[in-house]
Structure 1
């Protein structure tokens, strides 16, 4: 059975941060065959939505907005000032998403990426409750902006709070707001999930975005991912959103250091994107 999906790629594959100038990648992305482009919003102030909107239309690409959570954006921090910084940033992401005609903002909004420690059960509960309460506020912000949020579980080396789809579904249950939805990333799932298929099935109709790369962050089809199980899971939940390649370039040192990419993962980033597209197109059809 063929999957009824869009194929997308993140501009993080080539550059960081995304700015209005990054639209120069759009013609190449469209020429490769992609339906959509994933736009990571690191600094909202360097994105002119009118410029980006025109480039999207000119190239026939749909936008997907992803948020980035560095150390200052942490809804589980003990200092409420960090929460306000996060709220302001997330609202800016909602504004960009709404302006470009996208429907959600995706990412691990509950905590700063890289906040991975061994803490007591009591401390973990405090941080969990902060995440729930603050994300409920974020969901209300999303609703006012006509948006949803797609929350993402990260592997154990990037967070100690939400590692599995089970964790994520419990978080969404505790938030208890219709705007709270799911993003599943195959890279993290390959580390944390006993079964990719079962994890997707568990997400069910809450799943609104999917990111992929190989288990080593490389080009889809070159590693150990169980792609048949991945497809079976998406078929079972009748997933019809985008499947987006998310990986990173070793050429941008700050980004490469943040995601621990110490070597090239393909002959070139263009080849990564084009070969990844060809693999995913065949995978979705066959």
Structure 2
């Protein structure tokens, strides 16, 4: 059985001590193995407290993030790139500090709608920045995942093919594909090809419905996707991700374009998702 994860924003919109404890405790109560902690603002995370909470409940912690436009390693502006590199270094410090072994997401660009294609100079900066991150991460036993996101959230990597091209150019063995079915629903031709294309370089999977709500109530072809995971022998984490304005802070909801309350009971959503994913993986 694949390790099952859940995104912390199912439980809490921030990371105060109380929110951290609630998220970790709820993750274990709902039957998940992994808690994915957003490190959008690494300085806001109390590393020692988080590590202790994870250890108390026997939950594995990993981190994800997307960069900001003023801290973007895919920018042609060296000052912006430097801020992005510093943000990634801080996020990596959170991962290692909590005892984690994975840092993924849009670690290669801002999580934002760009108004033009990726600048070739920016792409060169992105490759160099990812190579630095990967080498620093490898020294700490951390894997780096590149998550292709849809065209409205990045102009750098939108498909598995794009992620693989960047991984090849970065040339570091601890960089993997972080495949999110929500984004694949927008950018890929189907739900089988990207899994097969990623092959052994698929290292992390996000499960989310087409509208970010309850699994099985949208348009994602989950039987095809989970069938491809089984057929290819994927044994890595499968993490459920969902956002609702009822839980996520207003600022982050705006950034993620979460305009509706798709759900309000995180535990009901999480236990439903765990049953759904477990059934799909063992079918």
Please state which band the TM-score falls in when normalised by the shorter chain: over 0.9
| Aligned alpha-carbon RMSD (Å) | 1.7
TM-score between the two structures when normalised by the length of structure 1: 0.91
Q: What is the aligned partner in structure 2 of residue 127 from structure 1? A: 122
How far apart, CA to CA, are the structure 2 residues paired with 1:35 and 1:179?
A: 22
Equivalent pair of 1:15/1:249 in contact (CA under 8 Å):
no
Q: What is the aligned partner in structure 1 of residue 212 from structure 2? A: 217
CA 1:118/1:42 → structure 2, altered by over 3 Å: closer, same or farther?
closer
Q: How does 1:1-286 map to 2 (within 5 A)?
A: 4-21=1-18, 22-119=20-117, 124-251=119-246, 252-286=249-283
TM-score between the two structures when normalised by the length of structure 2: 0.92
Equivalent pair of 1:201/1:237 in contact (CA under 8 Å):
yes
Equivalent pair of 1:34/1:277 in contact (CA under 8 Å):
yes
How far apart, CA to CA, are the structure 1 residues paired with 2:264 and 2:38?
A: 23
How far apart, CA to CA, are the structure 1 residues paired with 2:114 and 2:121?
A: 15
Equivalent pair of 2:244/2:260 in contact (CA under 8 Å):
no
Equivalent pair of 1:17/1:43 in contact (CA under 8 Å):
no
How far apart, CA to CA, are the structure 1 residues paired with 2:17 and 2:265?
A: 23
Equivalent pair of 2:30/2:267 in contact (CA under 8 Å):
no
SS of the equivalent of 1:208 reads: strand
How far apart, CA to CA, are the structure 2 residues paired with 1:64 and 1:220?
A: 22
Q: Displacement of 1:267 after TM fit? A: 4.8
SS of the equivalent of 2:272 reads: helix
Q: Which consecutive unaligned segments of at least 5 residues does structure 1 have? A: none
| Count of aligned residue pairs for this structure pair | 280
